[in-house]
Amino acid sequence: MNNYELLELAKEASKNAYCIYSNFPVGACVFYSSGNYYKGCNIENSSYGLSLCAERNAISTAISSGEKGQLLKIAIYSPKSKNCFPCGACRQWLQEFEEGQNIEIILENENSECSIYKINDILPYSFKLV
């Protein structure tokens, strides 16, 4: 799956966001080495700490669906913000499943084109149990 297709799926997912508090919809789509992809959107709660980001939703959907492949890419999109980077918690989640692949993070830039970042570049000092 190419990066533009993955970003389009993230855009689709953002339409399902439950964001009645922030009014900031986000969609994500993860792509695995198995060839499978999974979408997620943000789901808010009046107790903000219980909210679920689109990125973690997509990864959770993959895992709960039985995905065993390696996470290779994630596209993240919000109609409210170009270059919608993952929050710190989601960066740590992505790093958890990095497995030496240096996951690609695909965002829509100001020109409506794909910008690609690597997880190790946006979270160079992640927490790891040794």
Q: State the catalytic residues.
A: 55
- 17, with CB counted inside 10 A (0-12, 13-18, 19+), is buried
What is the Cα–Cα distance from 101 to 124, expressed in whole angstroms?
14
**DSSP helix/strand/coil, 125:** coil
CB burial of 73-98 (b: ≥16 within 10 Å; e: otherwise) equals bbbbbbeeeeebebeeebbbbbbebb
Amino acid at 86: P
Contact 47, 77 (CB under 8 A): no
